[in-house]
Amino acid sequence: MAKTDSYKLIANNKKAYHDYFIDEKYEAGIELCGTEVKSLRMGKCSVKESFISVNRGEVFIHHMHISPYEKGNIFNRDPLRSRKLLLHKTEIRKLESQVQAKGYTIMPLKVYFKGSLVKVEIGLARGKKLYDKRQDIAKKDAKREAEREFKVKNLS
């Protein structure tokens, strides 16, 4: 019996793709309280300035902003609190060794609903140099220009 999971994007981190090369991607669960889930269902989340660290065999996401739920009153938590990510031990060990040995960093890429669960896509990332960013911008501009010319030719 195959399960069809619905996928609803909540937040996307475009800055991570601009500033880093993403080598590997992982899907992690996130430990939340009830009012945070309700706020996420309304789409009030930002991962732009967030980062991920590994402490004593546990993975945490820091500075992920989840706006307080309007009707949550005393049950609301701090919007910028550190939240635990749920990964397998082997994945955590692999991430920790890569970060320590090769100078990688771990970045959150997306926050989304998979069925009724909130998931975070995290990436093992290497920093880009300025010339790499310029090359990416030049490629995007060339692609956009080619699409524009193709569109104009098809309309004529």
CA–CA separation, 135 vs 139, rounded Å? 6
Parallel, antiparallel, or unpaired: how do β-strands 83-86 and 105-114 relate?
A: unpaired
Mean pLDDT by 10 residues, the chain (156 residues): 70 85 90 83 86 89 85 71 90 88 87 89 86 83 86 73
CA–CA separation, 63 vs 75, rounded Å? 20
Three-state DSSP at 122 gives: strand
Whole-structure pTM value: 0.76
The Cβ of residue 48 has, within 10 Å, a number of other Cβ atoms equal to: 14
Q: Report pLDDT for 112.
A: 92
Three-state DSSP at 26 gives: strand
List phi, psi (to 5°) of 105: -130, 160
The residues, any chain, with a CB within 8 Å of residue 27's CB and separated by 6 or more, are 114, 119, 120, 121, 122
CA–CA separation, 62 vs 41, rounded Å? 20
Which residue in this structure is represented by tokens 């880093």? 20
Name which of 3, 22, 48 is nearest 122 in CA terms.
22
Which domains can be identified in the chain, with CATH numbers? 7-127 (2.40.280.10)
